[in-house]
Amino acid sequence: MNKTLKTLALLFFMMSSQFFFAQQADNNREGQRRSRENHRRIDDRASALREEQKAIEFKKSQNQSSVKDQKAWDDRISQLKKEQLDIDTKNRKLAEQENSLNATNDKINKLQADQDAEFKKNGTSPKDENIRKQRAIAKDNLNKLQQIQMQQQADIDKTVTTP
């Protein structure tokens, strides 16, 4: 009876770890989808700015307009260049945040795999107190990493939505 319970507990743990891995993979795919969407939106905005700048420069070169119009066009071109610089900065910041998030995801996956291997090695209810302490520490570390992961994703969303 006791051996059956241990086997069932180990089976339950293995199923739950597979669920966790599947959930983590879904989170990673969703993060990648959001990342592509974020970069697409930023690139679309940058493209629109470049097109507007080209149109203004073309008008400026074609017309023999007043000094006032020339100054207005120059001001708008300088504003567009500043916006382009802001977009480039945002793009770099977004890439850095995504790299940090990917590193956190890798740490979570490694920690979960280590926990999974440890459970397979020592069973679900080991008698050794040190193993229980290690499991508690690993679980705490996993929870902390998941909190960091959520914060990093929130920072990415904030970066993308801020003008």
Residue 22 in domain: no
Which one, of 20, 34, 8, 21, lies nearest residue 160 by Cα?
A: 34
Residues in the chain predicted with pLDDT less than 70, given as ranges, are 1, 5-6, 8-18, 20-21, 63, 123-126, 160-163
pLDDT at residue number 125: 65
Residue type, 19: F
pLDDT at residue number 14: 66
pTM score: 0.58
Residue 141 in domain: yes
Q: Is 38 exposed, middle or buried (0-12, 13-18, 19+ CB in 10 A)?
A: buried
Residue 18 in domain: no
pLDDT at residue number 66: 77
What is the DSSP code (8-state) at residue 64?
-
Half-sphere exposure of 144 (CA within 13 A, CB side): 8
Residue 23 in domain: no
Residue 49 in domain: yes
Residue 68 in domain: yes
pLDDT at residue number 10: 64
Residue 71 in domain: yes
Contact between 17 and 139 (Cβ < 8 Å): no
